[in-house]
């Protein structure tokens, strides 16, 4: 892979990921807009509370996507077909067991979740309906995580795009049918998600069989259950799990603190979080490309190309972050009116739009380093720095600022949280990313 090919390879992986990732917050925007145009903010609050619970549940299993990508990419870089197939088997097994456990434990999960994230009585009632319907999508959702991660590790960003567009389009269609056609509320959004996830899973299995049948024939369940490989799989994934739990906790705390203020602040912050989600998924297109490309170059023991690839990846990621920042600066007000036409929510959200300008470039650095560290499977320092950012930056900054700043304190804490992650991972990269790669190349 010559230097001149790095940009081409980056774009080949990143562009489908960007399109795929933008489709995900697009669904959230449609749901938010649909609920925002009903006759009460209760339904938007219900989707907000229900969604944050599933962020806890499903983002907690995000290691199935991220860990599978990094490990598969490194095996692909070594041209180890048997291990590539085995990693898919390990991820699928964990996904099935995890999904079934979530269904079995749904009552306990619901009780704990609503105790930790309370809302107004009507909001919580509708959020519970949302939860008890959507939980049945768990096995399909987790299996799709593993399949998506495996495709990305195999340097195939096109199939995840196909699956995401299919599932998102179906989800929007089902939601419109159930909410506008059948008169359902937030429960219609939940049912639409269940139907779309199983449709996406069926398509994912079909793509696996169509393209990778020779690879799947190498699937050896004795190799899948090999102790040393399982130890590596779970070590990497436990680190990612802890990192993800910290991320989820931060956003859940953000939503809970918003709800504690009042339902209007909760609705306004839920809309503004869509701005952040859209930016994050856009930048994450290059972060996902970093997982695939960094993993491949690490597995192939190419530290020279790794440094060049990381520089180019950051150039693209920061550029996308800057575009979002400028878009929110000039068109933030117009976008706000796309989400809701309720004057009270508009008036509550408008004073906080300036945070949307600062968050994209700061957040882009954190997201890009996450992709690099996951691809290199340098998950321990990533986990540790996330703990520092959550416990020593995010929470203290909020509690110190909230008496004087109110809701602004939440957005300040989020900005400092992103900055702490990006800065700390930048300082550790010479040792954990480039130093480790150079050492592996020397041994090889």
pLDDT digits (tens, 9 = 90+) for 132-166: 999 999 999 999 999 999 999 999 999 999 999 99
Count of domains for the chain: 1
Of 368, 349, 356, the C-alpha closest to 407 is 349
| Separation CA 143–CA 160 (nearest Å) | 13
Q: What local confidence, expressed as pLDDT, does residue 2 receive?
A: 47
Structure confidence by residue, pLDDT tens digits, 266-323: 999 989 998 998 898 889 899 999 999 999 999 988 888 899 999 999 999 999 999 9
Give the CA radius of gyration of the chain: 21
Token pair of 124 as six digits: 């919580």
Q: Could you tell me if 310 and 294 are in contact, meaning their C-beta atoms sit under 8 angstroms apart?
A: yes
Distance in angstroms (rounded) separating the CA atoms of residues 231 and 216: 22
Please tell me the distance from the alpha carbon of residue 426 to that of residue 116, in angstroms, as a whole number: 34
**Highest mean pLDDT of the ranges 122-136, 187-201, 389-403:** 389-403
Determine how many CB atoms are found less than 10 A away from the CB of residue 87. Answer: 30
Distance CA 392, CA 170 (A): 41
State the Cα–Cα distance between residues 13 and 30, nearest whole angstrom: 27
* pLDDT of amino acid 356: 96
Give the mean pLDDT of 46-72: 84
Residue 216: domain span? 3-443
| Dist. CA 19–CA 331, nearest whole Å | 21
Kindly report which listed range (37-41, 148-152, 203-207, 343-347) carries the lowest average pLDDT score: 37-41
Side-chain-side CA neighbours of residue 50 (13 Å) = 31
Determine the pLDDT at residue 4: 41
At 118 the three-state DSSP class reads: coil
- Binned at pLDDT 50, 70 and 90, residue 443 comes out as very low
For the chain, how many residues are written? Answer: 444
Distance of CA 244 to the CA centre of its chain: 9
* Cβ–Cβ < 8 Å for 270, 255: yes
Spatial distance between the Cα atoms of 37 and 29, rounded to a whole number of angstroms: 12
In this structure, how many other beta carbons lie within 10 angstroms of the beta carbon of residue 423? 16
Burial (CB count <10 Å: 0-12, 13-18, 19+), residue 404: exposed
User: What CA–CA distance (Å, rounded) separates 122 from 130?
Assistant: 13
Q: Output the pLDDT for position 423.
A: 97
The yes-or-no verdict on residue 99 having pLDDT over 90 is: yes
Query: What is the separation of C-alpha 162 from the centre of its chain, rounded to a whole number of angstroms?
Result: 18
């Amino acid at each position: 892979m010559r230097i001149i090919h790095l940009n081409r390879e980056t774009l080949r992986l990143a562009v489908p990921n960007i399109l795929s990732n933008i489709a995900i917050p697009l669904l959230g925007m449609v749901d938010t807009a649909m609920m925002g145009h009903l006759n009460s903010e209760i339904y938007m609050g219900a989707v907000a509370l229900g969604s944050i619970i599933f962020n806890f549940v499903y983002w907690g299993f995000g290691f199935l996507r991220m860990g599978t990508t990094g490990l598969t990419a490194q095996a692909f870089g070594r041209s180890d077909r048997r291990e590539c197939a085995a990693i898919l088997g390990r991820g699928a097994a964990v996904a099935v067991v995890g999904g079934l456990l979530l269904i079995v434990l749904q009552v306990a999960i619901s009780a704990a979740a609503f105790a930790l994230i309370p809302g107004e009585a009507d909001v919580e009632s509708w959020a519970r309906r949302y939860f008890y319907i959507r939980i049945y999508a768990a096995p399909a959702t987790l299996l799709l995580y593993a399949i998506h991660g495996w495709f990305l590790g195999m340097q195939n960003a096109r199939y995840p795009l196909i699956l995401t567009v299919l599932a998102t389009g179906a989800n929007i269609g089902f939601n419109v049918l159930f909410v506008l056609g059948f008169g359902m509320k937030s429960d219609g959004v939940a049912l639409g998600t269940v139907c779309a996830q199983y449709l996406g899973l069926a398509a994912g299995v079909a793509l696996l069989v169509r393209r990778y049948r020779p690879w799947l024939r190498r699937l050896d369940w004795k190799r899948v259950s090999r102790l040393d490989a399982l130890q590596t799989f779970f070590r990497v994934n436990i680190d990612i799990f802890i990192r993800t739990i910290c991320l989820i906790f931060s956003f859940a705390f953000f939503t809970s603190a918003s709800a504690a203020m009042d339902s209007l602040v909760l609705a306004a912050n839920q809309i503004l979080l869509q701005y952040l989600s859209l930016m994050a998924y856009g930048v994450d297109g290059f972060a996902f490309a970093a997982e695939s490309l960094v993993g491949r170059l690490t597995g192939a023991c190419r530290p020279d190309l790794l440094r060049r690839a990381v520089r180019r990846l950051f150039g693209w990621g920061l550029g996308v972050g800057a575009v979002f920042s400028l878009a929110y600066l000039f068109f933030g007000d117009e976008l706000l009116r796309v989400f809701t036409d309720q004057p009270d929510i508009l008036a509550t959200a408008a004073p906080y739009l300036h945070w949307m300008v600062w968050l994209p470039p700061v957040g882009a650095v954190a997201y890009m380093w996450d992709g690099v560290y996951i691809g290199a499977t340098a998950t321990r320092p990533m986990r540790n720095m996330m703990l520092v950012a959550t416990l020593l930056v995010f929470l203290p900054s909020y509690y110190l600022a909230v008496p004087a700043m109110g809701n602004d304190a939440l957005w300040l804490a989020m900005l400092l949280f992103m900055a702490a992650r990006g800065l700390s991972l930048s300082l550790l990269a010479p040792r954990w990313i480039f130093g480790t790669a150079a050492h592996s190349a020397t041994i090889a």
